[in-house]
C-alpha cells in the first residue's frame, strides 16, 4: 500500500469524530482532490465517503458494545439520531447492529474453507450433494478482482462467492437493481431454501448462475470492412449495447446514494493534459485547444452526472443467445461522471477499429440505442466530440510523460490529430 494511503487511513482513524472531507484528505496527502479520490478508490476498493462512514459505524458500535450510552456515542460520531445510525448500519452491513455483534463476537480473519465446509454451505440451496466443487479464486474468474474474493465453481453452471460483508451487500443491491431493468449480473443471488438472498454468518455467501460470455468483438479485417453494410451482427450489437448501457445507468442511479460514489471533473482532466500535448504535438492548432477550453467548459456544467460503470470494454459486456444480457465488473463502480462517458468510452473499447468509418457507425448505433431508452440532452449530443478528445488528450499526455512509442501510442496520436481536423464528422451522429 502506498505511504500516502497509509497516512490518510491513520488520519481518518484519528479524526472520526470530526467532519472529514475528501478535500481535507487530499490536501493532507498533497494531491488534487480528484486524483486523490481515484487513487484511494483504486487502492481501497471503495470511495472516501464510504470508507469514512464504515469506520464511523465500526467505532461507534465498538464503543456501544463497551457499555457507553448509544445515543451519546452516535452523536459523537456525527449521526443526528440513533435511528440515523441504525439505518446507515443496516444499509452498509445488511443486518442490525445487534445481529452483527452476535455474528462477529469472536471474529477473526477469513477462515479458509475446505470442500466439506463448502458442501455444508451448499446445503442451503437445492444443490446435488455430490456436485463437483472447484476453488477458482486465483484463476480466470478473479484475474481482475481484489484478493479478498473467494470463489468456487459449482459444476458448470454456478458460482459460490464470498467477500467482506459491506462489499457483498453493495454488490447484491446493484445486481438486484440491474435485474429490475432486465439485466443479469454475476452477483445476482439465487435464493436459498429459506427464501434468503445469502447465507448469513461470520461471512456472507451467495450462489449465482454462470452468465453468458464476454462480447469481445474482434477488429474487422479489410474484407469485412468492405462488406460492412451486410454485417448485421455488428450493427445489432452497437444498438443493443447502447440500450443495455441505458438500462445499466437506470440501475446504478437507483442505488447511488447507498454506494456513495465520488464525483470527478472530466473537463479538468482534459485541461490538465493540454500543456503536454502542445509541446508533444505542435501540429495541432491553437484553435483546437481554444475550442475545447471555451465550448466544453460551458457544456460540462450542464451534463447529467451520476454513478457510471467507468470501464466498459469487451470483457465486461456479456452476451447470450445473441443478446447483450449483462455487464461485469460493477464491484469497482464508484465514480460519478457525465453519464454519456460510458457510451463514448464503450464504443471505443468494445468495438475499437482503426478505420474511422467503422468507429463512427458503432458510436452512432450505440448513441441511438441509448437515446431510445434514456433520451440524451442537447448538451450531451454536443459533448460527444469533446469527450472523445479528452480520452485521447489524456492518453497522449500519458504516453508523452512515460516516453512510450508503442503502436498503441501511435494510434492515439493519429486519432487525436484526426479529431483536431475533422470535428464536423462527430456531430449529428443521431
Orientation angle between helical segments 97-104 and 82-93, nearest 10 degrees: 50
> What's the whole-model pTM score?
0.82
pLDDT digits (tens, 9 = 90+) for 273-284: 898 888 878 889
Question: What distance in Å separates the CA atoms of residue 121 and residue 100, rounded to the nearest whole number?
Answer: 19
Between 316 and 408, name the one with better pLDDT. 316
Q: Cα(394)–Cα(348) distance, rounded to whole angstroms?
A: 15
**pLDDT value at 311 more than 50:** yes
In the Cβ-directed half-sphere of 124, how many Cα atoms lie within 13 Å?
Answer: 21
What mean pLDDT value characterizes the chain?
A: 83
Lowest-confidence range among 159-173, 184-198, 407-421? 407-421
Instruction: Say which CATH superfamily domain 115-211 falls into.
Output: Phosphorylase Kinase; domain 1 (3.30.200.20)
pLDDT of residue 15: 93
Three-class secondary structure assignment of the chain: CCHHHHHHHHHHHHCCCCCCCHHHHHHHHCCCHHHHHHHHHHHHCCCHHHHHHHHHHHHHHHHHHCCCCHHHHHHHCCCCCHHHHHHHHHHHHCCCHHHHHHHHCCCCCCCCCCHHHHHHHHCCCCCCCCCCEEECCCCHHHCCCCCCCEEEEECCCEEEEEECHHHHHHHHHHHHHHHHCCCECCCCCCCCCCCCCCECCCCEEEEEECCCEECCCCCCCHHHHHCHHHCHHHHHHHHHHHHHHHHHHHHHHHHHHHHCCEECCHHHHHHHHHHHHHHHCCCCCHHHHHHHHHHHHHHHCCCCEEEECCCCCCCCEEEECCEEEEECCHHHCCEEEECHHHHHHHHHHHCCCCCHHHHHHHHHHHHHHHHHHCCCCHHHHHHHHHHHHHHHHHHHHHHHHHCCCCHHHHHHHHHHHHHHHCHHHHCCCC
By residue count, the chain amounts to 430
Give the mean pLDDT of 155-163: 91
Residue 408 pLDDT grade (very low, low, confident, very high; cuts 50, 70, 90): low
- pLDDT at residue number 314: 64
Is the model more confident about 4 or about 375?
Answer: 375
CA–CA separation, 141 and 145 (whole Å):
8
Would the pLDDT of 224 be above 70?
no
The residues pairing with 262 across neighbouring beta strands, listed in sequence order, are 335
For position 219, what pLDDT does the model report? 43
pLDDT at 110 over 50: no
Q: Is the pLDDT higher at 233 or at 282?
A: 282
Report residue 322's pLDDT band, with 50, 70 and 90 as the boundaries: low
CA–CA separation, 51 and 43 (whole Å)? 12
Q: Is residue 317 very low, low, confident or very high in pLDDT (cuts 50, 70, 90)?
A: confident
As a whole-number percent, the residues of the chain with pLDDT over 70 amount to 83
pLDDT tens digits along 22-59:
899 999 898 888 888 888 887 887 889 889 999 999 99
Q: Helices 340-350 and 378-402 meet at what angle, rounded to 10? A: 50
pLDDT at 180 exceeding the cut of 70:
yes
Using alpha carbons, list the distances in angstroms from residue 416 to 80, 195, 385, 392: 51, 54, 11, 6
Q: Which CATH number, 1.10.150.390, 3.60.15.10, 1.20.120.430, 1.10.10.60, labels domain 3-104?
A: 1.10.10.60
Question: In this predicted structure, which of 105-119, 135-149, 194-208 has the lowest mean pLDDT?
Answer: 135-149
Q: Quote the pLDDT of residue 216.
A: 52
Question: Which pLDDT does position 325 carry in this prediction?
Answer: 79
CATH 1.10.10.60 domain residues, the chain = 3-104
What is the β-pairing status of strands 335-338 and 133-135? unpaired
Q: Where in the chain is the domain with CATH 3.30.200.20?
A: 115-211
pLDDT value for 92: 92
Whole-number Å distance between alpha carbons of 51 and 25: 12
225, pLDDT greater than 70: no
Q: How far is Cα 63 from Cα 210, in angstroms, rounded to an integer?
A: 42
Please determine, looking at this structure, whether the domain spanning 222-426 carries the CATH number 3.30.1490.20: no
Share of the chain above pLDDT 90, in %: 42
Provide the angle, in degrees to the nearest 10, between the axes of the packed helices 48-65 and 82-93.
Answer: 120
With a CB cutoff of 8 Å and minimum separation 6, the contacts of 272 are: 397
Q: Partners of 35 in the beta sheet? A: none
Amino acid at each position: 500500500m502506498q505511504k500516502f494511503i497509509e497516512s490518510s487511513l491513520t488520519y481518518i482513524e484519528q479524526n472520526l469524530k470530526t467532519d472529514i472531507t475528501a478535500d481535507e484528505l487530499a490536501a493532507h496527502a498533497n494531491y488534487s482532490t480528484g486524483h486523490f479520490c481515484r487513487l484511494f478508490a483504486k487502492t481501497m476498493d471503495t470511495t472516501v465517503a464510504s470508507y469514512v462512514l464504515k469506520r464511523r459505524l465500526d467505532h461507534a458500535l465498538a464503543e456501544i458494545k463497551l457499555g457507553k450510552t448509544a445515543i451519546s456515542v452516535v452523536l459523537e460520531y456525527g449521526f443526528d439520531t440513533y435511528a440515523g445510525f441504525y439505518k446507515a448500519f443496516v444499509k452498509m452491513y445488511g443486518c442490525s447492529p445487534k445481529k452483527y455483534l452476535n455474528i462477529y463476537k469472536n471474529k477473526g480473519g477469513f477462515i479458509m474453507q475446505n470442500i466439506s465446509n463448502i458442501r455444508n454451505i451448499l446445503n442451503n440451496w437445492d444443490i446435488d450433494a455430490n456436485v463437483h466443487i472447484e476453488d477458482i479464486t486465483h484463476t480466470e474468474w478473479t484475474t481482475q478482482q481484489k484478493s479478498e474474493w473467494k470463489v468456487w465453481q459449482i459444476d458448470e453452471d454456478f458460482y459460490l462467492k464470498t467477500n467482506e460483508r459491506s462489499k457483498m451487500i453493495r454488490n447484491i443491491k446493484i445486481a438486484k437493481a440491474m435485474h429490475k431493468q432486465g439485466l443479469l449480473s454475476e452477483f445476482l443471488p439465487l435464493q436459498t431454501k429459506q427464501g434468503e438472498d445469502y447465507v448469513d454468518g461470520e461471512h456472507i455467501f451467495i450462489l449465482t448462475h454462470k452468465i453468458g460470455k464476454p462480447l469481445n468483438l474482434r477488429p474487422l479485417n479489410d474484407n469485412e470492412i468492405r462488406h460492412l453494410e451486410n454485417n448485421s451482427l455488428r450493427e445489432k450489437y452497437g444498438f443493443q449495447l447502447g440500450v443495455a448501457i441505458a438500462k445499466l445507468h437506470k440501475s446504478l442511479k437507483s442505488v447511488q446514494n447507498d454506494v456513495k460514489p465520488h464525483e470527478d471533473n472530466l473537463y479538468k482532466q482534459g485541461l490538465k493534459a493540454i500543456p503536454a500535448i502542445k509541446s508533444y504535438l505542435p501540429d495541432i492548432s491553437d484553435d483546437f485547444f481554444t475550442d475545447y477550453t471555451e465550448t466544453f467548459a460551458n457544456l460540462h456544467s450542464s451534463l447529467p452526472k451520476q454513478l457510471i460503470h467507468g470501464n466498459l470494454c469487451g470483457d465486461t459486456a456479456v452476451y447470450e443467445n445473441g443478446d447483450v444480457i449483462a455487464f461485469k465488473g460493477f464491484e469497482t463502480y464508484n465514480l460519478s461522471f457525465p453519464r454519456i462517458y460510458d457510451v463514448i468510452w464503450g464504443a471505443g473499447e468494445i468495438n475499437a477499429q482503426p478505420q474511422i468509418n467503422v468507429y463512427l457507425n458503432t458510436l452512432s448505433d450505440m448513441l441511438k440505442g441509448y437515446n431510445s431508452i434514456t433520451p440524451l440532452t442537447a448538451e450531451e449530443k454536443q459533448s460527444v466530440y469533446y469527450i472523445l478528445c479528452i480520452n485521447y488528450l489524456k492518453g497522449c499526455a500519458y504516453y508523452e510523460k512515460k516516453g512510450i512509442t508503442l503502436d498503441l501510442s501511435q494510434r492515439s496520436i493519429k486519432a487525436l490529430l484526426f479529431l483536431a481536423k475533422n470535428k464536423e464528422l462527430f456531430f449529428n451522429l443521431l
